[in-house]
Structure 1
Amino acid sequence: MNDMRQTARRGSNGHLTPADDVSRIRDHDLLTEDHPIRQYAGEPLRLKAPMRGLAFTAVLVGIMVTVQVMGGVILSVTTAGDSKMLMARIGELAGALAAYAVVVLAMEQRRSPVELKPARIVGLLWGGLMAFACITVCIGVIALFGGYRIVGFNAGYDPWTDLLTVGLVAGVAEEIIMRGILLRLVEERLGSWGAVIVSALVFGLLHMINPDGTLWGGVAIAIEAGLLFGAIYLTTRSLWWCIGFHAMWNIAEGPIFGSVVSGTGSQQSWLVARWNGPDLLTGGSFGLEASIVPVILLGGLALIILIHLQRNGRMIAPNWARRKRLAPEA
């Protein structure tokens, strides 16, 4: 058996240690032991992936609309764009957390889901460090080609709104939606390759609706971020890693290095940067993520990770392939 199928390691006292939870993988579908066992035929309606997805979407949208309406009343005396945007992001965060709780706690009946187990919260740090390193390398390559230069420091920049919206809210809400729900549910049917591709495409397409969104920007994000975030989740089975990576990715890209974040408009930052050269190098009005540099470097990294997982038997096969393999011989 490969490492993902081994029984969890035990400490000196003979008990399973928290860090070993992710090693407790079932043989037949490679999912962690806290996941419900899918029977498909005759299983409770609450366990069917479409029903869980529908419930998640209904709760998410319901809370987002409610917060938007309430926020509209509260903010009716002002037209401050930042305030309305902040309210929308808070609604997204509250909706994602509540919807995830409904699916995981009520429908799947997992009281301590492995992907968000408190004992694994150190993944936030490792994911953040990995993201900062990736952004720094990409910025460095662009600078070598003359596309990026630091020209000053903005000491008066107030980062708190940006840190909350593009950092905390985006990191938590989008990772719960994209990896914690979409990738995980699709994986049950289409397997790991299908799930990471579907979630990456949806992730990229959603960024096309941003104010300066473009088709190329959406495709670029699907490759460099959607595939990479999916690969990180499949490797660690940890949303902490994904949240830490996503939040620090946005913070380093925007508030620190001074790039527009995903085509969301002008961005203030601590470092005042000058971007020079063709849009294919700098990303243009969409920001760093539309540069060919992260597409090649981070998209390549994602493929390396995914191929490594495949070779080590850690990619779940599509449901029909698993059922055929387990079917008794005639």
Structure 2
Amino acid sequence: MPFAKHSLHKPSRPAATFLLSAAWTVLSLLSASELSQLVPAMWTDFVREVVAALLLAGGFYALARVWVPELRPLSSLGFVRRPGIAGEIGRGVALGWGIAIALVLPALLTGNLSMQFLFNGPTLLRTLLSVAVLFVFALVVQLVLAGLPLQTLVKASSPGWAAAAVIFVVTMLAITGTASQGRTLPVMVLAASIFVTGFLRTRALWFSLGVQLGWSVVLQILFGFNSPYTPVTFGFIQSGSDGPVWLTGGPFGPEASLVTVLVLVVALVVVFRLTKEYAWHYTWQPLEGAGRPMDVAPPAEHQREEKRQAAAAPLIQIGGLQAPQIPYSEPRDPA
């Protein structure tokens, strides 16, 4: 388990591990973005996400081996090997599928949904490439949100404070990095809350990874919508929606609507219900005493009394003397 108890000899080690892993996260994302510019435009997103995933996984693995010797390196990435992994992923995919359908329903029910079907060779190649990009992108997002930095924060503080810190960072990034903060900020914060909560409730990436894959693949590949939060995708279906932006998202896609905020709030509650069993098995920690063993010397009077008893003459027990034996005889008959 990634959160097994272990002792850190130096109090500054959790802070140092967090700073190193956070710095490596930023460096990996920047390096992947620069390297992706060296390939043709069609492969830019795929190369960027693959390079970022490899750098993040490799860096976290090495940091875990060096700085957290009692933490299994694969666990530092969130890939905890245990029974029932398929069930965890399946529950996550089901929730992500439900989120995508709920986002499309307003445009569908109001008649503002338009779809275009394209079936040819180039479209097939782009569809397969888009699925691969979404998969690797989901892996990168989960490694950033629930990888070694979050686990180090949990060890240094508590799951609640660690989750709050991650959500705060996501909020700051959304504020400073987006032009349409009114639409993107609530969705990014709620999505990050769902992923982080799913990880902290299960202590693994399987559930959260399933949620993101089900959400993005269904919405972008099966329904054909683009998302402002993920790489641009192409599929057999290309969709658009009209109507009020607050209801359908309009040209920005369903994730820009007010309905998305409501759907994600409900999804966050559902996460707690779906992960109740996993939280029972994987988040419980046995209580450990915080005191130190102490050997208290007896009072001086007790020590003097023990010395007097040890120095006193020993009692001599006389043995070998027994009471005289009176022979037993049968009583006589008076007749």
- TM-score normalised over the length of structure 2: 0.68
The whole-number CA distance in structure 2 between the counterparts of 1:273 and 1:236 is: 35
The whole-number CA distance in structure 2 between the counterparts of 1:163 and 1:204 is: 27
In structure 2, stretches of 5+ residues that fail to align are 293-335
Range with bigger deviation, 172-181 or 264-273:
264-273
1:107 to 44, 51, 67: 67
1:196 to 163, 168, 178: 163
Counterpart in the other structure of 1:15 = none
Counterpart in the other structure of 1:128 = 93
Contact 2:92 2:209 (C-alpha < 8 Å) held by counterparts: yes
Give the 5 Å matches for 1:1-330. Answer: 32-33=3-4, 35-37=5-7, 43=10, 45=12, 47-48=13-14, 50-64=15-29, 72=37, 74-75=38-39, 80-109=40-69, 110-111=71-72, 112-113=74-75, 115-119=78-82, 121-122=85-86, 123-147=88-112, 149-156=113-120, 157=123, 158-165=126-133, 167-189=134-156, 191-203=158-170, 205-206=172-173, 214-263=180-229, 267-303=233-269, 305=271
Contact 2:240 2:251 (C-alpha < 8 Å) held by counterparts: no
Contact 2:245 2:257 (C-alpha < 8 Å) held by counterparts: yes
Q: How far off is 1:305 after superposition?
A: 4.9
Structure 1 residue identity aligned to 2:82: A
Residue 154 to residue 37, structure 1, CA distance change in 2 (3 Å): farther
Structure 2 residue identity aligned to 1:162: S
Residue 70 to residue 219, structure 1, CA distance change in 2 (3 Å): closer
Range with bigger deviation, 245-254 or 193-202:
193-202
Structure 2 residue identity aligned to 1:151: M
Q: CA deviation digits over 1:243-289, x for unaligned, max 9?
A: 12212322122122122212568653333323011222223454322
Residue 132 to residue 97, structure 1, CA distance change in 2 (3 Å): same
Counterpart in the other structure of 1:9 = none
The whole-number CA distance in structure 2 between the counterparts of 1:252 and 1:213 is: 26
Contact 1:205 1:218 (C-alpha < 8 Å) held by counterparts: no
The whole-number CA distance in structure 2 between the counterparts of 1:163 and 1:113 is: 26
The whole-number CA distance in structure 2 between the counterparts of 1:254 and 1:133 is: 14
Counterpart in the other structure of 1:7 = none
**What secondary structure, in the 3-state scheme, does the structure 2 residue paired with 1:238 have?**
coil
Residue 203 to residue 177, structure 1, CA distance change in 2 (3 Å): same
Contact 1:200 1:225 (C-alpha < 8 Å) held by counterparts: no
**What secondary structure, in the 3-state scheme, does the structure 2 residue paired with 1:159 have?**
helix
Higher-Rg member (1/2): 2
The whole-number CA distance in structure 2 between the counterparts of 1:182 and 1:265 is: 24
Q: How far off is 1:66 after superposition?
A: 5.0
Report the identity percentage: 15
Residue 301 to residue 82, structure 1, CA distance change in 2 (3 Å): same
The whole-number CA distance in structure 1 between the counterparts of 2:207 and 2:240 is: 31
Equivalenced residues, count: 277
Q: How far off is 1:241 after superposition?
A: 1.3
In structure 1, stretches of 5+ residues that fail to align are 1-20, 22-30, 317-321
The whole-number CA distance in structure 1 between the counterparts of 2:3 and 2:232 is: 42
Contact 2:115 2:238 (C-alpha < 8 Å) held by counterparts: yes
Range with bigger deviation, 200-209 or 246-255:
200-209
The whole-number CA distance in structure 1 between the counterparts of 2:263 and 2:191 is: 11
The whole-number CA distance in structure 2 between the counterparts of 1:235 and 1:274 is: 36
**What secondary structure, in the 3-state scheme, does the structure 1 residue paired with 2:82 have?**
helix
Contact 1:201 1:226 (C-alpha < 8 Å) held by counterparts: no
Contact 1:150 1:274 (C-alpha < 8 Å) held by counterparts: yes
Computed over aligned residues only, the root mean square deviation of the Cα atoms, in angstroms, reads 3.7
Q: How far off is 1:53 after superposition?
A: 2.2
Q: CA deviation digits over 1:282-320, x for unaligned, max 9?
A: 2345432222212112223314656997xx999x9xxxx
Q: CA deviation digits over 1:170-212, x for unaligned, max 9?
A: 11111011122343333345533333333234335545677x7
Q: CA deviation digits over 1:72-120, x for unaligned, max 9?
A: 5x54xxxx43333333222211121112212333322222528412335
